[in-house]
Structure 1
Amino acid sequence: MTAPEFSRPIALDTIGDVPRTVTVEADEAERAALAARFGLASIARLAARATVSLRSGFPYAEGAVTAAVTQNCIVTGDPLPVAVEEPFALRFLPTDMASDSEVELDAAACDTMFHSGGAIDLGEAAAETLALALDPFPRGPGADAALKAAGVIGEDAYTPLNAFAALQALKKT
C-alpha cells in the first residue's frame, strides 16, 4: 500500500484522555497530488483543525475540514470554485478490528477509520472527509442550457412510464 498524499500521523502514545487541539494543512505538492487522486481541477487550500483524545479507550477526533477547491462542471467542463467547511467526528480503531463482524458505535454516530501501527493519520482523515463532502456531479450555471442545446429534453423526461407512453403513442400512428 502506498503512503497517503497528505499524511499527518499522530502517535497513539501521545493521545490521552485530556483533549488537545491539532491543526494540519496540506502543502502545494500534497494538494496537487490529492487533486489528481480525487479528479479535481485544483485544491487551493486544505486544512483541518481537530480535538483529539481517547474515548472508551480509542482515539477520537472531532473538528472541521476547510478547503478551497476547483471542480469541473460535468456537463460543460467549466471550472467551479467550491468552498468546503465540513465538520467531522471520527473514531479510530485498530485494523484488526475491521474484520470483526460487530463493532458497536455509540449514540454520537461518529464515522470510523482504521489504523495500523502506532499512529492515526489526521491528514488522510481530512482528505477523505473532503472527498466525501464534494458534490460528485457538480453542475455550473450553464449546464442546463448546454444540455438543452445538445437536445436533452430533461432528466426526468424518460421515466419508465413516460417511455411506455411514448411507445404507445407510436403504436397508434
Structure 2
Amino acid sequence: MSPANGALPAPEFSRIVPADAVRRADVIETIEATETERKALAERLELEAIGSLTATVKLRAVRGGQMIRVSGRLEADVVQTCVVTLEPVPAHVSESFDALFAPPSMIEDQGLEIDFDPSLSDEDIPEPMDNNRIDIGELTAQHLSLGLDPYPHAEGVEFEGYDEDPVEEEVAEEPEKPNPFAVLQQLKSRD
C-alpha cells in the first residue's frame, strides 16, 4: 500500500513530545514498545522478532530555547537472521544517541551552509520538528536500526570463501605499468 498524497506511513513506534513542554523544563521520558509495535517494527527492520525495546530519553531546550537537544539510551532484544545459515540469531542492542531538532523555518533560513560546515558533527545538524513536535519513538527506532549487526551470523559459523580485501588482491594481480616519465628521465640523463 502506498500512502495517499505522498505522505509517509505512520511510524510503528511513535511517542510524541511537544517542543513547548521542553522549553518550559527538561523532559525525561522512559518509553517501551508494545507487542504490536515490536511486531510492526520487526517487519520494517527485517528482523525475525523484537522481544523488548525500551529507551530513556532526555529532551532539553538549547540555543535560547529555539532548538531541542535529545539524548537517549535504548535497550533491545532482537532476533536477526544468520546471513550464512538463515538460522535465528538472538542479539542484545544497547545504543546511546543524540539529536538536535529545530523548527523547519530555522533550518531553511540557515540554507545549505550548515551541510558543508566540517566542524559540525551529525548531532549538531538539526532535524526539522514536525508541527513543533518531536517523535522520540521514531528516533529510537531509527537508532535501533543503526545499532543492528549488518551481517549477523550464528555462533560458530564463519563465512567460507570470503576474502578480507578482494580489491587489494585484484590490484596486486595487474601487471606493473611502465612509468610514462621514464623516457624523459633517460633524455635528461644524457645531457
TM-score of the pair, normalised by structure 1: 0.79
1:12-161 aligned at under 5 Å gives the runs 12-16=19-23, 18-56=25-63, 57-96=66-105, 97=107, 100-103=111-114, 110=123, 112-144=126-158, 147-148=159-160, 152=161, 154-156=162-164, 158=166, 159-161=169-171
Larger strand fraction of residues: 1
1:168 aligned residue: none
Please give the per-residue CA displacement for 1:50-95, whole angstroms capped at 9, x wherever unaligned.
1111011211111201111011111111111111110111111234
Where do 5+ consecutive residues of structure 1 fail to align?
166-173
Change (3 A) 1:5 1:65: same
CA–CA distance in structure 1, aligned partners of residues 173 and 165 of structure 2 = 8
Which amino acid counterpart does residue 75 of structure 2 have in structure 1? T
TM-score of the pair, normalised by structure 2: 0.73
The structural deviation recorded for 1:108 is 7.3
Structure showing greater radius of gyration is 2
Superposed CA RMSD: 2.6
Please give the per-residue CA displacement for 1:121-159, whole angstroms capped at 9, x wherever unaligned.
000000001000111111222432xx54xxx3x323853
| Number of residue pairs matched by the alignment | 159
